[in-house]
Structure 1
Amino acid sequence: MNKQIVKLKSIIAPSFHQVHRDIKKGLYTHHWLKGGRGSTKSSFISIEIIFNMMKDSKQGKVTNAVIFRRVKDTLRGSVFEQMLWAIEKLKCESEWEVNYSPLKLTYKPLGTVILFKGADNPLKMKSIKVAKGYIKYIWYEEVDEFEGYDKIRNINQSLMRGGPKFCVFYSFNPPESQRNWANMEVLETRKDKLVHHSNYLGVPREWLGKQFILEAEHLKKVNHLKYEHDYLGAVTGTGGEVFTNVTIRKITDEEIASFDRVHRGLDFGYASDPLHYTVNHYDKTRRRLYIFYEIHKAGMSNSSAVETIKQENKSNNRIVADSAEPRTIAEFKKLGLKIIGAKKGPDSVEHGVKFLQDLEEIIIDKERCPNTAREFLGYELEKDKEGNFKAEFPDKNNHSIDSIRYSLEDEMKAKKWLV
């Protein structure tokens, strides 16, 4: 590296110090960095890529980087300038060659490169090659603008080859809607994935400037919800969220052992639609629902589903299932389950959802029930052609919600709700 010594703490915000240490230790492959305006997440990523590529070269590792935006035309004025900023901050301008057509940065001592690509031409994704070493660093800036994680997964599968270790960054300002794929993706857990949230409050005020702080404080006064979204990076919603009483947290084994009002429900799968089995506890006094077990799988045979359910329901306690499938219920009974059909009344979906909305709190353990968490958080009213919310609840991506409605049949009857 350049002889001029730069203390990283002087150019990395305190909110990212631990992330830097995690990257240094190689703890994670996938780094999802989300946050509001002024959080410096893009600045942090650009510094990490430049710094670590140069560090790799000192250790005899030949590594390259590729940086993506959804649209190619946005590269020049965003991530390319951001990388030039990082080079300047690290005081290593003499070690990098800058090319504007095509956009490329070359580390002179080794000949390794940073490439800039738009994802709007998928045919070119598989043709990305480097002359030396392998592509270790990948950055998807404004990742929520991409069409979905499936497309990103395809790009990763093409690029993440030929090396022992990879470091992928995904940065974005969370969209308002929880249903947005990027907001849902950060809820999914895996051992090699870090999810980090930041905002401008974790950045030295002098870095942001007086005017930035004034604008933020003004918006906080006149439109607090907009402030939370824009500056704090909060998922504030679109106004169409069905369940605003959901809490995502770990439900401990000790809590589960104390539950004495446990319910089980089953929504049958059809073709590609998944079967969903739920186990939950209803605290009637405090009007809290604890959801702590699920089976969520498409393509299960009836016998396989029954055997899987029996592994959880060892005492063969009652299960309330979708009564629209009496033949399936009969077969499940023959296979040994104590199962009945839900007694549906008129407007049963509306009544059941409103019962759930009326609860003080719906607590979901997303480690145990990731699909339940995804469906409850993403369940939103749809809009008509004029942009107004439709009156009825959508009948899709609600397998867990249906199974929970069935499971709570008796509780709803006690409150004179209909399943």
Structure 2
Amino acid sequence: MTVKEVNPHFEDFLFDWNHKFYFLVGGYGSSKSYHVALKLIMKLLAEKRTALVVREVYDTHRDSIYSLLSEIIVDLGLEGKVKTGISPLQIRFPNGSKIIFKGMDKPAKLKSIHNVSIIWLEECSEVKYEGFKELIGRLRHPTLKLHMILSTNPVSTADWCYKYFFKDTKAKVHVLDDKELYQDRIKVVNDTYYHHSVADDNLFLPSSYIEQLEDLKQHDPDLYRVARKGRFGINGKLVLPQFEEWPHEAVMEAVQRIRNPIDRAGMDFGFEESYNALLRVTVDHTSKILYIHWEYYRNQMTDDRTAEDIAEFRGTGELIRADSAEPKTIQFFRQMGFNMRAAKKFAGSRLQYTKKVKRFKKIICSSNCPNTVDELKELTYAVDKAGEIIEDQFSIDPHIFSAIWYALDGYEVSDLNEVTP
């Protein structure tokens, strides 16, 4: 009988099959993929099952997971019993179990798969959310307990896997605070087993490898967080590092204390993938603070339905400064009794508006505006091929940020040194 030494932090995970989902996140070199592969082999030796291993791109299997599984099979002395094949990639066990490999870049081939009771989704953050939902539908067997194992290095908190398994502010979903996982290392919530690991958990790593990871702390803080700490966070350069979220009552109390408040409303238009975003903001010009305290944020809405949703603006005289790219929409709202006009746009206006917002010492947002928090708290710049930031382009299409631009049309944040990105 072969005796296999494993890392102690993974012992509980290796033998736990009580849950449907297993979510493993960790830093570089933590050995999470190795222990998932070992767990899978042991299970398929013990029970006749079909396991599906998935990556976003099929062609990456051979030199990654297939190679890892093959090495473990040899290491366990099973190469005479467990058969590996490369055309197609497949691993077969003496009891009839098998491992098949697929890529989400060839989704049509998933339709021919039947009786899969275990799915391993490696580097799950590379797979789109639609692909994850498709795989859940492929996980079915008439009698066997079903399991899905997801492993990944941490990415942005804007990624679907963070929002699904931890927190999604916009959808008001809170499953687990990731900080609890970093502290406790292993957590079970509902039917999901969470596991966090870092390089220190891999007792077989040379100390020189960990030293290399430590060097990232000074040179690349984003990569250090991912590679060394194994933690989710914000990837890239923040556009608004001075952004804060406050309880709604605290925001309104602060607004009421402003001696000469400047109240504004701004709106960006959208429909299918884009959003109608309407904000109410208040400027404290003396303190150079921007308060955001009311939001409307919906898509797939016709203009007449939107007019019903924001009827509190109709006939009040409250001015809405809106996206000048939609003159017909603005005219419609004016005919419906809204005081709406186009904000100025000109060559370079995106950059100028962005710099204007960045000049505020603080941008404080009400907790009653979850979509604003979701967009602005982690809004980062887009980068070019050389990795340099592009000052007027962003990681997402920022409808709320655009609404702020329009709301501040004609206002200048004076007497402040410009904050460079």
Secondary structure class of the residue paired with 1:206: coil
Tell me which residue corresponds to 2:208: 211
Q: CA deviation at 1:233?
A: 4.8
Tell me which residue corresponds to 1:142: 123
Q: Which runs of 5+ in 1 are unaligned?
A: none
Identify the structure with the greater helix proportion.
1
Cα pair distance change 1:316/1:64, threshold 3 Å: farther
Tell me which residue corresponds to 2:384: 383
CA RMSD of aligned residues (A): 5.1
Tell me which residue corresponds to 2:185: none
For 1:402, give the aligned amino acid: S
The CA distance in 2 between the partners of 1:252 and 1:372, in whole Å, is 12
The CA distance in 2 between the partners of 1:272 and 1:116, in whole Å, is 33
The CA distance in 2 between the partners of 1:106 and 1:80, in whole Å, is 12
Tell me which residue corresponds to 1:404: 404
Tell me which residue corresponds to 1:184: 159
Cα pair distance change 1:291/1:373, threshold 3 Å: farther
For 2:152, give the aligned amino acid: F
Secondary structure class of the residue paired with 2:30: coil
Superimposed CA distance per residue, residues 91-111 of structure 1 (whole angstroms, 9 cap, x where no aligned partner)? 8969x84433444445655x4
Q: Which runs of 5+ in 2 are unaligned?
A: 183-195, 257-262, 417-421
Q: CA deviation at 1:305?
A: 0.8
Contact 1:263 1:281 in 2 (8 A): yes
Superimposed CA distance per residue, residues 19-75 of structure 1 (whole angstroms, 9 cap, x where no aligned partner)? 998x8455xx584x44431233324544554567789x6xxxx85421123344432
Contact 2:61 2:101 in 1 (8 A): yes
Q: CA deviation at 1:79?
A: 1.6
The CA distance in 2 between the partners of 1:86 and 1:364, in whole Å, is 52
Q: CA deviation at 1:304?
A: 1.0
The CA distance in 1 between the partners of 2:33 and 2:274, in whole Å, is 39
Tell me which residue corresponds to 1:99: 84
Secondary structure class of the residue paired with 1:328: helix
Cα pair distance change 1:93/1:362, threshold 3 Å: farther
Task: Output aligned runs, 1:250-261, within 5 Å.
Answer: 252=247, 254-255=249-250, 258=253, 260=255
Tell me which residue corresponds to 1:232: 229
For 1:355, give the aligned amino acid: K
- TM-score, with length taken from structure 2: 0.66
Secondary structure class of the residue paired with 1:332: helix
The CA distance in 2 between the partners of 1:69 and 1:128, in whole Å, is 16
1:38 matches 2:35: no
For 1:78, give the aligned amino acid: S
Q: CA deviation at 1:126?
A: 1.8
Superimposed CA distance per residue, residues 287-333 of structure 1 (whole angstroms, 9 cap, x where no aligned partner)? 5556576444333112211222348x799794523152455345435
Q: CA deviation at 1:381?
A: 4.0
Contact 1:248 1:373 in 2 (8 A): no
For 2:120, give the aligned amino acid: W
Tell me which residue corresponds to 1:172: 152
Q: Which moved more, 1:214-223 or 1:186-195?
A: 186-195
The CA distance in 1 between the partners of 2:230 and 2:139, in whole Å, is 30
Contact 1:259 1:281 in 2 (8 A): no
Superimposed CA distance per residue, residues 348-406 of structure 1 (whole angstroms, 9 cap, x where no aligned partner)? 4323211222334556789963576347745524537x876656547981322111222
Tell me which residue corresponds to 2:113: 128
1:245 matches 2:241: yes
Cα pair distance change 1:364/1:46, threshold 3 Å: farther
Cα pair distance change 1:342/1:54, threshold 3 Å: farther
Cα pair distance change 1:400/1:206, threshold 3 Å: same
Secondary structure class of the residue paired with 1:135: coil
Superimposed CA distance per residue, residues 123-172 of structure 1 (whole angstroms, 9 cap, x where no aligned partner)? 3222223xxxx3243223234555x444x247426614556975444433
Q: CA deviation at 1:252?
A: 4.1
The CA distance in 1 between the partners of 2:102 and 2:129, in whole Å, is 17
Secondary structure class of the residue paired with 2:111: helix
Cα pair distance change 1:37/1:362, threshold 3 Å: farther
Tell me which residue corresponds to 1:309: 310
Q: CA deviation at 1:113?
A: 3.2
The CA distance in 2 between the partners of 1:40 and 1:363, in whole Å, is 41
Cα pair distance change 1:395/1:52, threshold 3 Å: closer
Secondary structure class of the residue paired with 2:100: strand
Tell me which residue corresponds to 2:276: 275
The CA distance in 2 between the partners of 1:297 and 1:288, in whole Å, is 27
Q: CA deviation at 1:206?
A: 2.8
Secondary structure class of the residue paired with 1:349: helix
The CA distance in 2 between the partners of 1:329 and 1:389, in whole Å, is 33
For 2:123, give the aligned amino acid: E
Contact 1:281 1:290 in 2 (8 A): yes
